[in-house]
Amino acid sequence: MVIKPAGDLSLEEAKFILCPLGSKSHPELKGMSLGQVAQTEDGCKMLEYMASNQYQPNGNQDGQRVKSAAKLLLEACNLPDCLRNRNRLDGAART
């Protein structure tokens, strides 16, 4: 299996990246893909968090892929709540 760099993700690939959250803070997300997370009631908020500077993956070497995937999914989302923070997320993804 070839793992692409974070910036080379397609939208379809982003949907299948596993959500790194779920052990203690959000057990309901454990084992879900980011595409599944996006469809939950708080999915947009969770994707915003993972795309932001607040999300610091603890020992997760794939953290930048998660950030890129979350940003891609937010950009593809048609929900107004997801789109309102796009400028903040654009700045977070560049750092």
Global pTM reads 0.71
Digit-coded pLDDT (tens) for 12-64: 999 999 998 877 878 888 889 999 999 988 888 999 999 998 988 766 667 88
Q: What is the pLDDT of residues 53-90, one digit of tens each?
A: 898 876 666 788 899 999 999 888 755 555 444 444 44
75, with CB counted inside 10 A (0-12, 13-18, 19+), is middle
The amino acid at 60: N
Domain edges within the chain: 6-94
User: For a pLDDT cut of 70, what percent of the chain falls above it?
Assistant: 69
Rounded distance between C-alpha atoms, residue 36 and residue 43, angstroms: 8
